[in-house]
Structure 1
Amino acid sequence: MRRILLFSGLFLGLGAVLAAFGIGVIGGGSAALAAQPEPWQWTFQPAATPVMENVTQFNNFLLYVVTIITLFVFGLMGYTMWRFRASANPTPSKTSHNTLIEVVWTIIPIVILVVIAVPSFRLLSHVRAIPEAGITVKAVGYQWYWGYEYPDHGGFAFDSLMLEDGERGAQPRLLATDTALVVPVDTNVRLLVTAADVIHSWAMPSFGVKMDAVPGKINEVWFRVNKTGTYYGQCSELCGIRHAFMPIRVEVVSQKKFKAWLKEAQREYGAAFPHTIKLANIETK
């Protein structure tokens, strides 16, 4: 009995220490470049936004908690099988319950859930609170490609189509596109997401962003990329026969390069989409 209570107390103490550590690290993190998934990759892509840094740290914290719980349960099972084996206990115990142990194994899970919930709710609040945006972009899902609009810069729009193997050059297979969503580095980007036909999902793992694109509805999410580079994602909602061929490419560039790209894009795409684009029951010009 005392040994079981000792194990429980040790487990609770370790959980409290890890909780303090986990809650403290949620606000930290360093910049990292994440471009694409790698062969034999076991975990997340390196974080490219503050949100994804926090998601990664919270995931690592939960891994500690799960590991301790697993070791404790297996250790307790092993101890119980050895301590109460038939050869050492020819007359089995007839104990029906133990109030103290029942209270302990009720309180400990409650404490664990609270320890997990506090940083979880803090992270969810951080993700949902959209800060003042430096740029707004609209992503429209089609079967089976993405279209992008820049309402803050004249409303020009263009489509982003997957490149076949003979066209992609050095870009990764099934992730290469003919055009990319271009955004400036160190800038809050407000992303409006919708669809023109069926439900899609705009997902960028290294940004910590995954937002459903629903016909007739505009969802919004935000991200702030802290390092220039090329980032890849994919549609993450089954949307038909070519769902697997609906990649996303985001080019994060310096402010100077973004301004130059804007001028060129306004000339190239401004006249290419002069008509009103109808998205289910939503119209945007």
Structure 2
Amino acid sequence: MAIRRKIFASLAALLGFILAGVVQASADYNMRPGVTETSLEAYDLHMLVIWIMTGIAVVVFGLMFYSIIFHRKSKNPNPATWSHSSVVELIWTTIPLVILAFLTVPSIQLLLKMEDTSDPDLSIQVTGSQWKWHYKYLDKDIEFYSTLSTPREQFENFSGDAATKGENYLLEVDNELVIPANKKVRFLVTAEDVIHAWWVPDLAVKKDAIPGFINETWTRVPQTGVYRGQCAELCGKDHGFMPIVVRVVSEQDFEAWVEKKDAERIAAEKAAAEAAAKSWDMDKLMALGEQVYNGKGTCAACHKPDGSGMPPGFPALKGSAIATGPVKDHIDIVVNGSTGGMQAFGKQLTDAELAAVITYERNAWGNNTGDKVQPADIQAFKAGNQ
């Protein structure tokens, strides 16, 4: 009896160790609960499965250790003559079926709920591209690109003395996606080049962005705050630099934000028209072009700041046939992109920015073609290709 008490004490200690590990994992390494109703339901279902698995592990390992100790050869030198038990086989077949049936009902209910995008209060088209997100509010006259705002010198640490990393290193953007709290927001997710995935863990939203297809998902966030996510599909060189930032605000603040974006759009359109109407000198074109090349245009991400590129995937612009060849061909590939992976910048940049960055590429790094591309040239090219 003393041995049995020791065995059961050991099993109790094992159970305590397992339970302690589950609690610790829940606190430090577990799936995050999130903030939406669906994310909390997914977390509760996840924890239910974890506890069922823990119970199964305790029973199975308990029986295994019991059999090892009390049915060992030294204690029972004569083996049993029976080969199986139909009752035991029925039990260990029935119990898993009951558990699976028990888990099927809440799982299906939750999946159906997560797929129900009907009757949204707001619809937003999310388009992934290499390597940024484009947001278009289908109920508003608002659309913009959202790109990583972490300075490149913080993560391109080739010299080993990079700048100090910020609080939201690699999870900060220049334009946040803003949505109202307590409203059902539908996302129509697609891509324009390769497969991406739009993932915000706290909102229980993760959807593949596939070129030529539109996937739907939704969320309703009950509380204001900032929620961060990332592209969750390996999509190329800068896959790790496609963060997502969703700012949830009150309904009143959202309406104020919409009015502000409308005013910014009108001002930007006016400024772009004024910039496109004038003739730019070489110095101004080169200054703006360098700024666009290394910043907003993200050209340096593929072609490098010195124009040397990363062949064969990302060709050099320094001395290239595009940058030193016919101007029209250069405008065409920047505005419309190419099938080789070059994305189209015709809608991402203003006519003045397009003219400036093309001028910069044709005269930087020793190219020195002397060509000055004006915004009027971009407008004429677009008009001829409509």
Q: Compare the two structures and name the one with the higher strand fraction.
A: 1
Aligned-pair CA distance for 1:268 = 2.2
The match for 1:70 among 45, 57, 60 is 57
Q: How far apart, in 2, do the equivalents of 1:153 and 1:125 lie?
A: 28
Q: How far apart, in 1, do the equivalents of 2:265 and 2:197 lie?
A: 24
In the other structure, the counterpart of 2:206 is 210
Q: How far apart, in 2, do the equivalents of 1:168 and 1:251 lie?
A: 25
Q: How far apart, in 2, do the equivalents of 1:184 and 1:171 lie?
A: 25
Q: How far apart, in 1, do the equivalents of 2:37 and 2:164 lie?
A: 31
In the other structure, the counterpart of 1:144 is 131
The match for 1:234 among 204, 224, 230 is 230
- 1:114-152: CA deviations, max 9, x gaps? 111111111111111224111111111011111100111
In the other structure, the counterpart of 2:76 is 89
The answer as to whether partners of 1:168 and 1:177 remain within 8 angstroms in 2 is no
In the other structure, the counterpart of 2:195 is 199
In structure 2, relative to structure 1, the CA distance for the partners of 1:261 and 1:245 (3 Å cut) is: same
- 1:9-32: CA deviations, max 9, x gaps? xxxxxxxxxxxxxxxxxxxxxxxx
In the other structure, the counterpart of 1:42 is 29
In the other structure, the counterpart of 1:114 is 101
The match for 1:162 among 140, 148, 165 is 148
The answer as to whether partners of 2:189 and 2:215 remain within 8 angstroms in 1 is yes
DSSP 3-state at the match of 1:118 = helix
Q: How far apart, in 2, do the equivalents of 1:229 and 1:61 lie?
A: 28
The answer as to whether partners of 1:162 and 1:246 remain within 8 angstroms in 2 is yes
The answer as to whether partners of 2:188 and 2:217 remain within 8 angstroms in 1 is yes
DSSP 3-state at the match of 2:252 = helix
Q: How far apart, in 2, do the equivalents of 1:117 and 1:45 lie?
A: 22
Amino acid at match of 1:48: V
DSSP 3-state at the match of 2:139 = helix
In the other structure, the counterpart of 1:29 is none
DSSP 3-state at the match of 1:153 = coil
DSSP 3-state at the match of 1:192 = strand
Percent identity, aligned pairs only? Answer: 39
Runs of 4+ in 1 over 6 A off after TM superposition: 166-169
DSSP 3-state at the match of 1:79 = helix
In structure 2, relative to structure 1, the CA distance for the partners of 1:184 and 1:169 (3 Å cut) is: farther
The match for 2:117 among 108, 130, 151 is 130
Give the TM-score taking structure 2 as reference length: 0.58
In the other structure, the counterpart of 1:253 is 249
Moved more, 129-138 or 60-69: 129-138
Higher relative contact order (CA 8 A, sep 6+): 1
- 1:191-247: CA deviations, max 9, x gaps? 110001000000000001100000011111010001101110000001011111100
What is the root-mean-square deviation in Å for CA atoms of aligned residues? 2.5
In structure 2, relative to structure 1, the CA distance for the partners of 1:181 and 1:196 (3 Å cut) is: same
Aligned-pair CA distance for 1:163 = 1.3
Amino acid at match of 1:128: E
Amino acid at match of 2:169: R
1:187 is the counterpart of 2:174? no
Q: Compare the two structures and name the one with the higher helix fraction.
A: 2
In the other structure, the counterpart of 2:12 is none
Amino acid at match of 2:140: H
Q: How far apart, in 1, do the equivalents of 2:30 and 2:195 lie?
A: 27
Aligned-pair CA distance for 1:170 = 5.8
The answer as to whether partners of 2:120 and 2:185 remain within 8 angstroms in 1 is yes
Give the TM-score taking structure 1 as reference length: 0.78
Q: How far apart, in 1, do the equivalents of 2:127 and 2:100 lie?
A: 38
Q: Which ranges of structure 1 fall in alignment gaps of 5 or more residues?
A: 1-39, 281-285
Amino acid at match of 1:174: L
Q: Which ranges of structure 2 fall in alignment gaps of 5 or more residues?
A: 1-26, 155-162, 274-335, 340-386
The answer as to whether partners of 2:32 and 2:43 remain within 8 angstroms in 1 is no
